[in-house]
Every structure is written in structure tokens, then in C-alpha cells.
Amino acid sequence: MKRSIRDSLNKAPAAPAEKPPENAEAVIERYSGMSESELMSALMAETSRQRAEGTFDESSIKKGMEALAPMLGEDQMKRLREILSRL
């Protein structure tokens, strides 16, 4: 059975002390229509916020990348690595 990013986002468990994650449709709607530059700015702002709060978890990022890897082509995986290296 083929896995999708949307399935992964919808099935992500919430940490006990955190608010539940947004559903995939809400996330997609929030970021749809943004340019690549706007998306990178939003990503960097969120990363900075999480680092300041002490909630940025690099191991979770790596686990997410490993989960996405089977669904991505070589070029997509290269791009993901470039983006994550900027974090």
C-alpha cells in the first residue's frame, strides 16, 4: 500500500502536554499559494520560535525525513536535505 505525506501528517501522535497537531488540510490551506521564498521564511521563523522555546527537536526532524524518504524521488530527497541543512 502506498503511503502519502497527508496520511503521515494526519496520523502524527500528539505529545501529552502539547496541543493536538493541525490536520493536514488545515496545514495545506495555510501554506497554499505561498512562494518558495515565503515558505522558507515561514519555516525559518517557526524554527527560530521553537529554538527560543526549547521545543525544537532535531531527532524528530530526522525521523520525519526517514519517514518521507520512501515517498520521495532522488531530486526531492536532495532538495529536502538542502532545506534541512539550512535549519
C-alpha torsion 53→18→41→51, nearest 10: 20
Residue 17 C-beta-side C-alpha neighbours within 13 Å: 1
Q: How far apart are CA 72 and CA 82, in angstroms?
A: 14
Rounded to an integer, the average pLDDT of 62-87 is 93
Q: Name the residue ranges covered by the structural domains of the chain.
A: 23-56, 57-87
Average pLDDT, the chain: 85
Q: Taking a C-beta distance cutoff of 8 angstroms, is the pair 10, 28 a contact?
A: no
Give the model's confidence band at 23: pLDDT under 50 very low, under 70 low, under 90 confident, else very high.
Answer: confident
Whether 13 has a pLDDT exceeding 60, the answer reads no
Give the pLDDT score at 40: 94
- Greater confidence (2 vs 58) lies with 58
Q: How far apart are CA 79 and CA 75, in angstroms?
A: 6
Rounded to an integer, the average pLDDT of 81-87 is 90
Give the pLDDT score at 15: 54
What global pTM score does this model have?
Answer: 0.63
Per this entry, what is the length of the chain? Answer: 87
